[in-house]
Amino acid sequence: MILAMGAPKPRTGLLGDTPRRDYAEKLKLFNTFARPELREAIDALSVPPASRVLDAGCGTGDALGWWRASLPDGAVVVGMDLSAVHATIARGVAAGTPVVQGDLLAPPFADGVFDRVWTINALHHLRDPVAGVRALAKLLRPGGRIAVGQSSLVPDMYFAWDARLEARVNEAVRAYYRDRYGCSESEFTAVRSLVGWLQRAGLRDVGVRTRMIERTHPLAEADERYLLECIFRGTWGERLRNYLRPVDFAELARLCDPGDERYALRRPDFHFLQSLTIAVASG
């Protein structure tokens, strides 16, 4: 589409999201890896019979099938995502489940039609997450509940044997993302205020629980694929070269290379930890 002179450019989200963005492969890898913990979190939320549930920012729709398996009789789940590609994939993954392409800041639903809203790793993509919570809370019926989930509020543990290198790598990733998206440190760290977002949006009965996703050697295939493809190659890799001292970059490259004898995921002492926090509140 050609924009008219002077027309405002479509505003992208804090992390570059637009209706045309596609990182479906990454989402699939994450959901296959974190499936046990995510399913357990869904099963732990009580949902009355005949409820309507919205998965806002549903990505490739993996959770829609888990919701369907968990819901009581007569209840339905609906997906919504900004990305047209993600929404299309979600329709295929969760056949028979309605999935709409839409912006959760201006959701294409009437107010007060959902009993539960579930949104995982999505609100931190917004420039104003509290506005996102408010927009989603308006969709709740009286007595309805919203569950907002976020992984990695505390730093993931990758290298149990080398906290120093891990800290340098984490800082390098933050510096890379600050440069890539032109974000300030405070915009990035705002994600830690999950509970504060719900409070500032005026919601009641805010509760929170953090689960640990924990994996040790020997890893299942889904765990190794997520860590190797999403983290070692997708999040770290060559892009961190200019953000680390050469000696640290060289050490990281060896730990992340399946062809190297020092490959981290083959170490018997490999121990991975990632937090998954879910805050729940009433509308």
Ligand X SMILES: C[S@@+](CC[C@H](N)C(=O)[O-])C[C@H]1O[C@@H](n2cnc3c(N)ncnc32)[C@H](O)[C@@H]1O
C-beta of 52 vs 86, nearer to ligand X? 86
Long-range CB pairs of 45-51, under 8 A, 24+ apart, other chains included? 45/116, 45/118, 45/145, 45/147, 45/280, 47/71, 47/72, 47/75, 47/115, 47/116, 48/72, 48/75, 48/115, 49/73, 49/74, 49/75, 50/74, 50/75, 51/75, 51/76, 51/115, 51/116
Smallest distance, ligand X to C-beta of residue 218, A: 26
Question: Does residue 90 bind ligand X (CB under 6 A)?
Answer: no
Residue 31 binds ligand X, judged by CB under 6 A:
yes
State which of positions 38-77 bind ligand X (CB under 6 A).
57-59
Nearer to ligand X, 22 or 248 (CB): 22
Asked if 125 touches ligand X (CB under 6 A), the answer is: yes
| Interface pattern 157-196 for ligand X (x via CB under 6 A) | ----------------------------------------
Contact 256, 264 (CB under 8 A): yes
Assess 265 for contact with ligand X (CB under 6 A): no
Q: Which of 35, 45, 65, 103 binds ligand X (CB under 6 A)?
A: 103
Cα–Cα dist 252/244, whole Å: 10
- Does 120 bind ligand X (CB under 6 A)? Our answer is yes
Contacts to ligand X by CB under 6 A: 13, 17, 21, 27, 31, 57-59, 81-83, 86, 103-105, 120-122, 125-126
